[in-house]
Structure 1
Amino acid sequence: MSKCNVGDCGCASVPRSPGDSSANAPQWKPSRLDDVDCPTDAALVRNNLEPLDGVTGLDLALTLRTLDVSDHMHSPAAVDAALAASGELAPRIEITSAPLRTTLTIAGMDCPTEEALIRSKLAGMVEVAALDFNLVQRRLSVTHRPGALDAVLGALKAIGLEAKVEAGGTESAAPPARSAPMTHRWPMVLAGVTATLAEGVYWLNGGDHWIVLALALVSILSGGLSTYKKGWIALRHRNLNINALMSIAVTGAMLIGHWPEAAMVMFLFTLAEVIEAKSLDRARDAIRGLMELAPDTATVRQGDGSWVAMPATAVPLEAVVRIRPGERIALDGVVISGRSTVNQAPITGESLPVDKAEGDNVFAGTINEAGSLEYRVTAEASHSTLARIIHAVESAQGSRAPTQRFVDQFARIYTPAVFAVALLVASVPPLAFGGAWMDWIYKALVLLVIACPCALVISTPVTIVSGLAAAARKGILVKGGVYLEEGHKLATLALDKTGTITHGKPAQTDFMVLSGDANQAHILAGSLAVRSDHPVSLAIARAAVEMGWVLREVADFAAIPGRGVRGSIDGHVYQLGNHRLIEELELCSPEIEKTLDMLERQGKTAVLLADQTGVLAIFAVADTLRETSRQAIADLHSLGVKTLMLTGDNAHTAEAIARAVGIDEARGNLLPEDKLSTIESLLAHPKGGKVGMVGDGINDAPALARADIGFAMGAAGTDTAIETADVALMDDDLRKIPAFVRLSQATSDVLIQNIVVALGIKAVFLLLTMTGQATMWMAVFADMGASLLVVANGLRLLRR
């Protein structure tokens, strides 16, 4: 069974793997337990089901009255019997194949009002396993059983929402929907004019007149029918959204004789909703802008040598594409001929163009500036680096940050609470204290207008999306709102050395032969090193090739993690590795120790070639510091972040590099598991903040995964880094980390500001209402004005 219930999370149901012992058993999903109303009933159900053989887990959602049972049974009979014994009968459906996940675009889903209505409608459907909302992009991903899509679309239509299935069912298949054009412009204009005239006639006449009533009625009918329709649908589904509250408030105002005000309130509300939808489109444009970076067509070489323009989505792998100066690159690839400079800012955030020649990578969405290039396609359009960035940003929107989870929980309580208060305000003072009914009913209606928490709830996703888009523009790919929101809490940052602080392209600087022929030592070391992908080994291999040596075949090659490599050449076993490897082989000596100490104090990495009897030669390799490393470390220190370097290199070299860039502490001779244990020890003794780790996203994967925030360097074109890191830096500029921390601080500040503004305005109007100073049209201005304020404030992040 799926372990998650509708509305509890955004994850999809995961079918059992073929290796599962129950893979061939039918899968069952219980429907609603209509009589489970309290924890006592839930406890009874648990007590009857948990002792059953084969039951591995229960997930009972009391509020939704749903039960999911994880089991290894081939029949639900035992579960049914246990439920019957507890007084429950749960009708089930059999899932004969894996659940499907379909992504829908819902043009009318603008705010939490619609999300709550959709949840209440779809949550009770046994065909639906999970819902995942993306309000800003107006997308809903539904995990459902096969054949249930029509029922889902019908349920959405029943609540007044038209849904469109996205091509391929994927979240990145289509650009985010824009607000529907204002096709009913004249009814809106008529509503505004007649509402204004009604107010004018009312004041000129000194009170109500049949003309006032007629004008107000025309205004409400021309501008408010859509609100009434949505409000009626919400009330039928027992949902107190803003449309329902506004419909009740306007109707109540008319019943107590406030016709001009009722008309003006309805017009202002409708107008504000249009403005709010347009404002939200700016947040959607941030993602749409990413999608529009890559051109739709590419010029592809045909079999006969001719060049033909064809859709980028139809270009196959290994095809050869030509790109002229000034054109955008349509697909990822590797240059096979030509030289040029390419503006990679849309992908990596680099401020200067990058030279490209044969063998260099190019990315979709970047701009070819100077010369012509021909490149071989290495990724289809849907799997390019740009496509993965867009998918990651969209997926990050769906993960609710801590503030958003708090706001959502608060909102579920706030509206019913204010509605209850409004009922008390309307009835208690007249009944208990002889107050005037009309006065207190009017105050209750004002409360209804400000009872919807739209401003509060919409502020968080807009702010998070703006922050994610702003980060992506800088070449910083943040994989979730939680990391963007909590990044400013970073207190300690551990950094790998090679490829992170240094360029990762070291060169051989020293060579000393201790036994045998020097030329032979170069050939043996180069033959072993060329089989490794470690930057230090590659430096030795590159030096041997540049010296003109012919390398030998290596048999039984093996990498020794954190130490070096081993292989057999001409029947003899050789090792090429670091100080630790030689000590473990018991081949070290005082003379070798002295030489190694001298090299390491110079900041060089020593690599030793040995056979079974002793050390044959010592190679020294040195890497160069990145020009940006010193500034990045200084910026981190200014933000209060302590820095720690973790490297497999020797302690002396680690200390020398750390001193050169200003890192607080350095630890050398670390294996991957040592880096992991270091991160765990930092997490076990927190110093009031988060622990981060910076690496290449592959070799340091365990430590990156364990840290609170894992940063992957140079992720452009790297599938693993983009998919596994919490934050992926698209190029190798460490300064992006302090930039991320500052953006996180700005995001957190905006979130707090928006919450204070939204709740503050509500609190002020609650006080003004109780003292009789607030009017309904003022409440509408306050409610929708607050929504516009928080949206505008969130969008400020796009300008950073």
Structure 2
Amino acid sequence: MIKSPSSGCCSDSCGAEEDRELEIKDAIAGNILEFRVEGMDCPVCAQTLEKSLIKMLGINDAKVNYSTSKMQVVVENEALLESIQKHAQKLGFKATPITQTKKKGQTFNIEGMDCGICAQTLEKYLKTLPTVREVSVNFSTGKMQIVHAMTIEEVMKAVSKSGFKASLVSSSRKQNTNSPVPATKKFNVSSNSMSGILLVLGYFGTIAHIPELISILLYAASVLIGGYKPAKSAYYAVKSKSLDMNVLMTTAAIGAAMIGQWLEAATVVWLFSLGIYLQTKTLDKTRDSIRSLMSLTPPEAWLKIGQDLVRTSVDDISVGDTIVIKPGEKIPLDGEIVSGTSSINQATITGESIPVDKNEGDTVYAGTINENGSLEVKVTKLIEDTTIAKIIQLVEEAQAKKAVTQTIVDRFAKIYTPIVFALAMLTMIVPPMLGLGTWSDWFYKGLELLVIACPCALVISTPVAIVSAIGNAAKNGVLIKGGTFLEVAGTIKAIAFDKTGTLTAGKPKVAKIITLNGSEQEIISVTRTIEEHSQHPIALAIMNYAKANNISSQKADSFKALPGKGAQASIEGIEYFAGKPGLFRELGLFIDLEVQNRIETSQNEGNTIVMVGTKTKLIGIILVADYVREVTVTALKKLKEVGIEQIVMLTGDNEGTARKVASETGVDRYFSELLPEDKVNTVKQLQQDYNVVAMVGDGINDAPALATANLGIAMGGAGTDTAMETADIVLMADNLEKLPHTIKLSRRALRIIKQNIWFAILVKLVALVLIFPGWLTLWMAVMSDTGAALIVILNSMRLMRMKV
């Protein structure tokens, strides 16, 4: 969204400004150039640049956002980019293009599509319109991206001609604008009901021996009412050179009526309409599973202005503003806590059911719930840039990406339909010409073949399962970037894990205290005193241990850091040191053989040594070590249970550290002292042994190994934009808890896809076999087609209900 840079205005001008923002939002033609502007030191600068640009020839509108230092300009011609930069320079600003041109398109939700062929038909038809520049219709997400030169109403009207309903996907401020009219849905249901009632009346009229003409008229009325929408869609499908289910079913119904099979014609139309209605309603549930994520963020927030709190739309809140979240409220925007402490339920982002304690300086995410305690939060991201917004975008993009199986099925369907259609035509003509039966009998068999030529159940066998699985994963804090990665995850035999920050927490803590010439409390108290001003991870680990055990520091002075060695401080006139063994050797302190052996043993076990003492006496040794996450062992055990054959740990640490972590986690094998290129070679070796291998890391480190693996899995996506952008699968939580569920979900998805495909093919084969002996009726053929499609959808939806 393009936001106003102004921080305040009178009510009339604000209303006009908002109207103009919405006009820009709904601009129907042209391109948007986006710039980063340097040199603005107040909102007035932004207004000056904005008003000046609007006066330029060829610029339709402009918006300059002072808070984000960004400028968006709606231009008629992309060649104006250089002129805009020069004009900004004249006014004392520097405008740097962020991107090249961004074509102004719009996104619509499409209702009524029940298979991929429907999406292709709509896309082909819209491409025939001269006012449409680009269009892409995605069946899986039920969305259409279109670049056009029409009004929104004209787009919706063009879509409705193809038999579908379009509603503009808009900002939260316009969420209900242009939504489908409920009466339309009621009309579809009532038309199907009326068609069914007339069909029943016609049938009872036949068995009651009323005049045949009346029954025919009732059947004809049933066909007209129930078949109007499919016939209309069929017309535009033929016009756009598509052979979809509407064409096949309409042809079959008309053909049945032509040979006097009015009951068959009416039954075909009614069953087809009912099947489509049920399929559409069921499919919408899978699509809504992701759309419902959008409702997780509240539309308004308490904006703090001075000492006052003002209820404000999230669209009008800028980066740097302070908002207040009261106990029990949902957090509206991503930000950083500046005041207050609370427990935050982050299940919507990470899938973790246990609330996380948050303090000053911690990050909070839009869509999560403030369990207790009032928080003041400095906004760090606009509503369209929040983590939940990125999740929604990534999931919808993932659902739009075809899996390998889906691509193969689509190719098969493109060949299958024309072949069976041609076979139907030959069936109607060749046998009767050869004197092998009557024209009406073979014409009827040809009509049955036309119905069977529709590959709906087969075409939707894969995408619905993928949408359901990706939706389930997203709700459990896992982002799967597409159907291809879902399929790969389902075939993994071996997983390689980075150690630090993946299997272990990546945060050291005190593992043990070795007392020599002092008590544990004395050793920690002295070390806390020395390290009190240090931010080193080892020092922080000791500080945390001291606080947890209520061990206070002592009065000291002459603090001094010894880079690469340790630190020192003077306590009651005596100099104390804390640091590496090498520091005390430099001080000339004698370390006896027994202590040296204990140090070497501790280091071989993966501990970092912190020695504490004076120039003349060693009072103790603190062992600090990274630790295995609590959920790691459980997660690895569950991975074994779901069928992973080999779990491997890769680390750059020494053999002792690797061996210790391996024994604690239960990995099958480990490789230590590896450089980044060594990890790549190890992954390649695993691929030779196990074919399909995944690599799990933090999304930043070990990038070459993650890229080399068949599947790159990143952890901690909630706090790392890089992880969300680069990995194939992202675990939003900073642990492995959801990984076994992801593998199990992927494997079940593969099984369901195979079930769907074989079921769809089997139904078609049985129907084909039953046609020629005359055992299959036309209405049975329709039931086999729409029924199979509905069963495939319902089978796929089981993935949505799969629990962790």
Please give the TM-score of this superposition, normalised by the length of structure 1: 0.74
**In structure 2, what residue type is equivalent to 1:315?**
I
Separation in 1, partners of 2:228, 2:766? 30
CA shift digits 1:258-285 (9 cap, x unpaired): 0111112111211221121111111122
Between the aligned partners of 1:662 and 1:200, the Cα distance in structure 2 is 72
Distance in 2 between residues matched to 1:754 and 1:672, nearest whole Å: 42
- Letter paired with 2:754: I
Amino acid at match of 1:330: P
The separation in 1 between residues aligned to 2:744 and 2:507, in whole angstroms, is 30
Which moves more between the two structures, 121-130 or 498-507?
Answer: 121-130
**Secondary structure in structure 2 of the residue aligned to 1:666:** strand
Cα 1:709–1:538 shift into 2, 3 Å: farther
Q: CA deviation at 1:659?
A: 0.8
What is residue 221 of structure 2 aligned with on the other side? 218
- Paired with 1:176 and 1:409, the residues of 2 have a C-alpha distance of 34
- Per the alignment, do residues 478 and 537 of structure 1 end up closer, same or farther by CA in structure 2, a change over 3 Å counting? farther
CA distance in 1, matches of 2:581, 2:636: 28
1:667 aligns with 2:667: no
Aligned with residue 766 of structure 2, among 764, 767, 770: 764
Q: Which residue of 2 aligns with 1:687?
A: 690
Q: Please point out which of 333, 337, 340 is paired with 1:338.
A: 340
Matching of residue 114 in structure 1 with residue 114 in structure 2: no
Tell me by how many angstroms 1:600 deviates.
3.2
- 1:624 matched to 2:627? The reply is yes
1:266-305 maps to which residues of 2 (within 5 A)? 266-303=269-306, 305=307
Q: CA deviation at 1:244?
A: 0.7
AA of the residue aligned to 2:768: L
Partner of residue 571, structure 2: none
Give me the whole-angstrom Cα distance separating, in 1, the residues matched to 2:558 and 2:423: 87
Indicate whether 1:633 and 2:636 are aligned.
yes
Which whole-Å CA distance do the structure 2 matches of 1:628 and 1:700 have between them? 22
Q: Structure 2: how far apart are the matches of 1:476 and 1:454?
A: 30
Q: Deviations over 1:397-448 (max 9, x none)?
A: 1111111111111111111111011112212221224311111110111111
CA–CA separation in structure 1 for the residues paired with 2:156 and 2:215 = 43
| Structure 2 portions without partners, runs of 5+ | 1-30, 36-99, 515-522, 569-578, 583-592, 613-619
- Structure 2 equivalent of residue 700 of structure 1: 702
The question of whether the paired residues in 2 share the 8 Å contact of 1:504 and 1:623 is answered with yes
State how far apart, in whole Å, the 2-side matches of 1:168 and 1:608 are.
60
How far apart, in 2, do the equivalents of 1:436 and 1:288 lie? 54
* 1:190 equivalent in alignment to 2:194: yes
- Aligned residue among 734, 737, 743 for 2:736: 734
Deviations 1:568-601 (A, max 9, x none): x9xxxxxx9999xxxxxxxxxx999977742233
* Mapped contact 1:283–1:466 kept (Cα < 8 A): yes
Residue 421 of structure 2 is aligned with which of 414, 419, 422?
A: 419
Q: 2:44 — aligned with what?
A: none
The 3 A distance-change label for structure 1 pair 777 and 607 is farther
Counterpart of 1:450 in structure 2 is 452
Q: Does structure 2 retain, via aligned residues, the 8 Å contact 1:603–1:654?
A: yes
Q: Is 2:430 the counterpart of 1:399?
A: no
Q: State the AA in 1 paired with 2:414.
A: R
1:239-250 counterparts in 2 under 5 A? Answer: 239-250=242-253
Residue number among 318, 321, 327 corresponding to 1:319 in the alignment: 321
3-state DSSP of counterpart to 2:273 = helix
Which position in structure 1 is the counterpart of 2:518?
none
1:603 aligns with 2:610: no
* 3-state SS in 2 of match to 1:498: helix
Q: Secondary structure at the match of 2:648?
A: strand
> Superposed, which structure 2 residues align to 1:555-594 within 5 Å?
none
**CA distance, structure 2, for counterparts of residue 335 and residue 149 of structure 1:** 44
Which shifted more, 232-241 or 744-753? 232-241
Distance in 1 between residues matched to 2:479 and 2:414, nearest whole Å: 32
Q: Distance in 2 between matches of 1:173 and 1:712?
A: 37
SS in 2 for 1:182: helix
- SS of the aligned residue for 1:245 comes to helix
Please state if 1:435 is matched with 2:437. Answer: yes
1:181 matched to 2:181: no
Question: Do the aligned partners of residues 177 and 385 (structure 1) sit closer, same or farther apart at CA in structure 2, a change above 3 Å counting?
Answer: farther
1:748 equivalent to 2:772? Answer no
Structure 2 Cα separation of the partners of residues 148 and 343 of structure 1: 44
Distance in 1 separating the partners of 2:493 and 2:789:
34
In the TM superposition, what is the alpha-carbon distance from 1:742 to its structure 2 partner?
0.5
Cα 1:528/1:649, change in 2 over 3 Å: farther
| CA deviation profile, 1:278-302 (whole Å, cap 9, x unmatched) | 1111112201221111111111211
Separation (CA, whole Å) in 2 of partners of 1:509 and 1:781: 68
Counterpart Cα distance in 2 of 1:131 and 1:592: 74
Q: Secondary structure at the match of 2:378?
A: strand
Equivalent position amino acid for 1:784 in 2: T
User: What does residue 717 of structure 1 align with?
Assistant: 719
Output the TM-score relative to the length of structure 2: 0.73
Amino acid aligned to 1:244:
V
More displaced, 404-413 or 705-714?
705-714
Name 1:776's counterpart in structure 2: 778
Larger CA deviation: 713-722 vs 539-548? 539-548
- Which secondary structure state, in structure 1, belongs to the residue aligned with residue 462 of structure 2? helix
Q: Deviations over 1:226-277 (max 9, x none)?
A: 1111112212232211111111101110111101111121112112211211
Indicate the RMSD between aligned Cα atoms, in angstroms. Answer: 4.2
Deviation at 1:129, TM superposition (A): 8.3
Change in 2 beyond 3 A, CA 1:551/1:155: farther
Partner of 2:473: 471
Q: Distance in 1 between matches of 2:763 and 2:581?
A: 65
Aligned partners of 1:102, 1:330: CA distance in 2, in Å? 27
CA contact (8 A) 1:527 1:551 kept: no
Task: Check the 8 A contact 2:128/2:240 in 1, yes or no.
Answer: no
User: Please, which moves more after superposition, 248-257 or 280-289?
Assistant: 280-289
For residues 153 and 418 of structure 1, what CA distance do their matches in structure 2 show? 34
Q: Is the 8 A contact 2:167 2:180 kept in 1?
A: no
Would you say the 8 A contact 1:136–1:283 is kept in 2? no
Structure 1 residue 509 displacement after superposition: 5.7
Superposition map of 1:116-195 within 5 A: 116-121=120-125, 132-142=136-146, 159=162, 166-167=169-170, 181-195=185-199
Distance 1:527 1:406, change over 3 A: farther
Q: Please, which runs of 5 or more residues in structure 1 have no aligned partner?
A: 1-13, 19-96, 513-517, 558-564, 570-575, 580-589, 610-616
Letter in 2 for 1:192: G
Q: Is the partner of 1:771 in helix, strand or coil?
A: coil
Structure 2 Cα separation of the partners of residues 269 and 164 of structure 1: 25
Q: Spell out, residue by residue over 1:6-46, the C-alpha distance to the aligned partner (whole angstroms, 9 max, x if none).
A: xxxxxxxx99x99xxxxxxxxxxxxxxxxxxxxxxxxxxxx
How far apart in 2 are the matches of 1:257 and 1:734? 65
- Find the residue that maps to 2:397 and give its secondary structure: helix
The change in CA–CA distance for 1:667 and 1:550 in structure 2 (over 3 A counts) is farther
* Identity over aligned pairs, percent: 39
* Partner residue in 2 for 1:657: 661
Distance 2:746 2:492 in 1: 10
| CA distance in 2: counterparts of 1:658 and 1:603, whole angstroms | 11
Distance in 2 (alpha carbons) for counterparts of 1:178 and 1:455: 29
The one-character-per-residue Cα deviations of 1:284-324 (angstroms, maximum 9, x if unpaired) are 22012211111111112113x11111112222222222222
- Distance (whole Å) between structure 2 residues aligned to residue 601 and residue 453 of structure 1: 64
> What is the number of residues matched between the two proteins?
661
Q: In the alignment, is the contact (CA less than 8 A) between 1:426 and 1:437 conserved in 2?
A: yes
Aligned-partner residue type, residue 650 of structure 1:
N
* Distance (Å, rounded) in 1 between the aligned partners of 2:795 and 2:281: 15
1:102 matches 2:105: yes
Deviation at 1:655, TM superposition (A): 0.9
Shift of 1:121: 3.8
Q: 2:267 aligns with which of 254, 264, 274?
A: 264
Evaluate the alpha carbon distance shift between residue 787 and residue 424 of structure 1 in structure 2; reply closer, same or farther with a 3 A threshold: same
Deviation at 1:461, TM superposition (A): 1.7
Distance 2:743 2:201 in 1: 53
